[in-house]
Structure 1
């Protein structure tokens, strides 16, 4: 996905060079940490049988007496002589790399010098590089989800509903300031490019999973579910994140869990208007993912779609199970019932030195497309202070 231009673009991947530390942020196969090119290019046969192609460098060694001891960690064994020779060559290469128990880093190469990478350096270079003209052509990538294509298309056309964009459309707002700093105008570049908390929040507590659409098992009719392999990935990722931070987690996927049927109108905020019996269109089997979420302990809220005119949010065993609300006009709704979008607000503590600290609270509300963008159903989903209310 990107803008096509007759000018020479900045090739970010070619300009970035990983500086290996402990290897917890650098990809074993996909980053060029051991040679000028990634290991997947040098050893394609090994990469072809690798079952964890996104694994990090740290996943493939143990540290013993000040030295990294490398091992083959894939589920596929090295069964042929050719593969054994290729693995031997790979070992000879990576054993020359000095693994140190410190943070990984990245260097940004320019024509004159290589220096530590920062977003501000890239931003400064982009500001002085005239690669984007007024003719914008979108290249549609079929190997990423359609929603990601659509989101990036809206980014390119500046069609995200930031306060700056809403004001340009003459929508009245009480304030156009960024909720993080209360100084600058809230815009896409401010919130995503300049605000470091966006990067922190994404990597600390968001989990996005694909529940599919319909069952892929012929003997099981109905809708899809979170598969065992995805649950294993979630458990591993959750454990890694919780070793670094105790930030509360949020999970997003499409098909509601069977546990969404556990509520009645007295135990949730919102409405349940789907006509089915039951009015929750979950999979016909229970994959046990809710139990997995409870066991992990970090996820405080789950957000789903699928049932367009259910918009409720209720708490079950310490986890808020919420619907996103029927938003788009391309799908079914209900006459007289305003389309709506759920907004989730995660607020960080402000430290005495002006920097951002841990997550302080997570709130949610729904905004209606009723001409006034009315806000309804304010809820506190999680807070460090149990007595806090909206």
Structure 2
């Protein structure tokens, strides 16, 4: 069930996500639209078009009216910098931003939204609901499939990872959060991203090779997290066996993320052998206790001889 709370400014969380993803703000008096956060000059928020300027902004949640006040038709922009733009990149972004803002003028009308996916004007709850249920919350146009026999914490983690909503280093840097370096927290060789962490990292590659050997399935090659989630689709196995292997894959991803955090925050170094052993034991415990057909002993589980087959 998606979170439907409110943001700090009182706007509904899901509605705001839907508008930012598939809506465009039409500026009126500028008191409702967020200058940096909402897409109003184009389909992309200004914080993404001008990241250097966004870093310099002191009030990142300011409204359009805060930056473009109504001054008798004047197009003056009232900035609020931490320090005035000085680097070549900052100056270039400032020039481009002024060009975009040159034709902007406020009116006495209230700010409104236009839903880009529909022919009609304005925003409706139905449009947002269709967006929530549609392709936006999906991986390669396939809605994330919930695994019933593993804990919710693993499912929620995997759902967030599939949307690239976990705090990998590249995601933190994209949000202007300082990290010591952007390299993978496990291998330290490549820039850390969701796709690298669960497919390209040597720890992940070793994990998938070991799991394929344990589950008696062909060795598989993945290049992104979506490949990991869809790897079972073309295998000629029963739906029950695929359901069990799907849960094991999710547990493996969750364990990789936990090992990454342990190394970064606690200095604990894990090996692929230890990670695979943890996946086997956790999956056995959860399958035996939570699956309706989970009557199996440890020896058969280690050989992947399942009673449900």
TM-score bracket, shorter-length normalisation: 0.3 to 0.5
Higher strand share: 1
Structure with more of its chain in helix, by fraction:
2
Task: Give TM-score, length-normalised by structure 1.
Answer: 0.30
| TM-score normalised according to structure 2 size | 0.37
Pick 1 or 2: higher relative contact order, CA cutoff 8 A, min separation 6.
Answer: 2
